[in-house]
Amino acid sequence: MALKIAVVGMGYVGLTTAVCLAKLGNDVVGVDKDARKVKMLKGGKLPIYEPGLYDLFRQVVNSEKLVFEESIPRAIENVGVIFICVGTPSLSDGTADLSQVEEVARTISENLDSYRLIVEKSTVPVNTAKWIRRTIELYSKGRSVEFDVASNPEFLREGRAVEDFFHPDRIVIGVDSERAKKLLLELYSPIDTKVLVVDIPTAELIKHASNSFLALKISFINMIADLCDKTGADVKMVADGMGLDKRIGRAFLDAGLGYGGSCFPKDTKALFRIGESYHLDFGLLKAVDVINQGRVERFIEKVKDALWVLKDKVIAVWGLSFKPDTDDIREAPSIRIVRRLLEEGASLRLFDPKAMENVKRVFPPSGRLLYVNDMYEAVDGANALLIVTEWNEFKTADLRKVASYMKTPVVVDGRNIFEPEEVKKHNIFYYSMGRGKSA
């Protein structure tokens, strides 16, 4: 049976969730207070790039299974389930800013006229559901309307979000009533995967714990990569050897520039602060963040090792998004790298398949910063090529062509996308992250 659903917040998570829930046959209203974004969506355009999303978006909009609204009160008029998918950015101390979640809860309360299931899908600190419930009760002004609050954390990877929605490793549902449990199990019944039904605090904590553990794996292997640079060992082979242990696994053991995006940096800091608020020592997570923050400076050191003086050097940069198959530049290492190179006096030629328009809003084109149309144009006459994001098209680049176009054939590979011996066959001076002696 199709459900009537409102999804509040049309960012990466909310928009993907709304489109995919509509594709399952539900009647969905996507709501966002950003009038410009709603106008774009109503006009048939997506504000983000996500592989496979646009085709589904067109299908569900054309069939009127998905419509858009600016007003939360209008959006929730005739729905039974409300998903909260608004942002929870980090405050200056690392804690999660829950003001948008609170605003949505207040608005729901003021317009609650019959039963609703309110589902927090935004990544929130443990026990946020209690505050959502209290806020709704506080602003209800004595009206006795039944409602439930549930937690249904998202595990959507940018670049694979559609696939992750329909083919997830697991679905986590946190509930404290049979009615809420029944509704969510019905909603996800078309998806064939393990469904874990737990209490609400447990569901909330699963998301933060998962992301923080993956961030820990990334920082650990980057710590090992630095040791490999000093000793001549190969971090890729170390990771392969570790990954063969079933207790460890190979995933998230790729050394490089560290993690970025909207989840890992924010969630790791937030979990550290959560632990601190309960007087628990979560210093391990602080070390994870410190290691990650140091990756860009380590990379800049390699660039200086390769070029000596950066002033007036022409440097090509391949990749600006924080990971491939997305245009998202939130917490992307590229932003800090570009800023550092400009401070050093270098001239830059930047290329990314999807993220250049977003980066232009941070670094407008100038005499020392050009955005180019393809990856080979970027390296034409360059003193060095820096690989910052591991897009597939970079992995299959014609290295002979790259070497012939460059003024000085230097490649500093922040993502270890090439095999050192293969690169050196083309007389390229190659610097990688933790793969033994450079150049």
Name the token pair of 278. 């309960």
Alpha carbons 173 and 38: distance in angstroms, whole number:
29
Alpha carbons 295 and 238: distance in angstroms, whole number:
19
Mean of the per-residue pLDDT values of the chain: 95
Alpha carbons 312 and 315: distance in angstroms, whole number:
9
**Can you give the C-alpha Rg of the chain in angstroms?**
24
Phi, then psi, of 62 in degrees rounded to 5: -65, -30
CB of 204 closer than 8 Å to CB of 127: yes
Catalytic-residue membership of 85: no
What integer is the mean pLDDT of 227-245?
A: 96
On the 0-12 / 13-18 / 19+ scale of CB atoms within 10 A, 200 is buried
Residue 436: the pLDDT is 74
Helices in 154-256 by DSSP H: which ranges?
161-166, 178-187, 200-231, 235-243
pLDDT digits (tens, 9 = 90+) for 253-295: 999 999 999 889 999 999 999 999 999 999 999 999 999 999 9
Residue 438: the pLDDT is 59
Residue 262: the pLDDT is 85
Residue 182: the pLDDT is 97
Inform me whether the pLDDT recorded for 439 exceeds 60.
no
In the chain, what are the domains?
A: 4-198 (3.40.50.720), 207-293 (1.10.1040.10), 295-431 (3.40.50.720)
CB of 387 closer than 8 Å to CB of 412: yes
Alpha carbons 200 and 239: distance in angstroms, whole number:
36
What integer is the mean pLDDT of 312-316?
A: 97
Alpha carbon separation from 374 to 353, 359, 379 (Å, rounded): 8, 16, 9
Q: How confident is the model at residue 2 (pLDDT cuts 50, 70, 90)?
A: confident
Least confident of 133-147, 154-168, 221-235: 133-147
What integer is the mean pLDDT of 71-97?
A: 93
Helix axes 295-307, 333-343, angle to 10 degrees: 40
What integer is the mean pLDDT of 16-33?
A: 97
Name the token pair of 97. 């800013």
Inform me whether the pLDDT recorded for 1 exceeds 90.
no
Alpha carbons 351 and 209: distance in angstroms, whole number:
35
Name the token pair of 226. 């630095």
HSE, side-chain direction, 13 A CA sphere, residue 134: 5
Closest to 410 in 3D by CA, of 338, 303, 301, 319: 303
Q: How confident is the model at residue 8 (pLDDT cuts 50, 70, 90)?
A: very high
Tell me which of 20, 85, 228, 263 is the catalytic residue. Answer: 263
pTM for the full predicted model: 0.92
CB of 424 closer than 8 Å to CB of 406: no
Number of Cβ within a 10 Å radius of residue 115: 12
